[in-house]
Amino acid sequence: MPTIFELVNDALGTLSPAVPFGMDVYIGDLPNQFIVYSLISGVPEQHADNVEKVRLYRVQVNIMDINGLTSLPNVDAAMTAAGFVKGPERSLPKDRDTSHYGLAKDYFYVSG
């Protein structure tokens, strides 16, 4: 069974190299558009015989774009094709240092 990080990497990899991505922070010169993702939580949902059987993961994917939020990659299609379910989304404040706008999208994944 692949880890949650491998699942997200594989899903977002379908958008690359057009949209570069990284985990937690993007390292290097920032492109006009990029993605960073983070694991928000991994909560056990079901146990049997003192063994975890099911875990619910929440992953946040931040789409960052210096030109605004009107022309974004189809992260929903990439993540749902990998078995994730769409969750809440919200805009992020414009980054003072880089001038990138951001959109945070949460996705859920059940393993087990």
Give 9-53 pLDDT, tens digit per residue: 999 999 989 999 999 999 999 999 999 999 999 999 999 999 999
**Which pLDDT band holds residue 80 (cuts at 50, 70, 90)?**
very high
Task: Supply φ then ψ for residue 75, to 5 degrees.
Answer: -65, -35
| Among the listed residues 95, 72, 102, 74, the one whose alpha carbon sits nearest the alpha carbon of residue 86 | 74
Give 57-79 pLDDT, tens digit per residue: 999 999 999 999 999 999 999 99
Average pLDDT, the chain: 96
Q: How many CB atoms lie within 10 A of CB 61?
A: 23
User: Which DSSP helix (H) or strand (E) runs through 56?
Assistant: strand 51-65
Tokens 């057009």 locate to: 18
Show the domains of the chain with their CATH numbers. 4-111 (3.30.2000.10)
Say yes or no to pLDDT of 86 above 90: yes
DSSP-based three-state secondary structure for 98: coil
pTM value is: 0.94
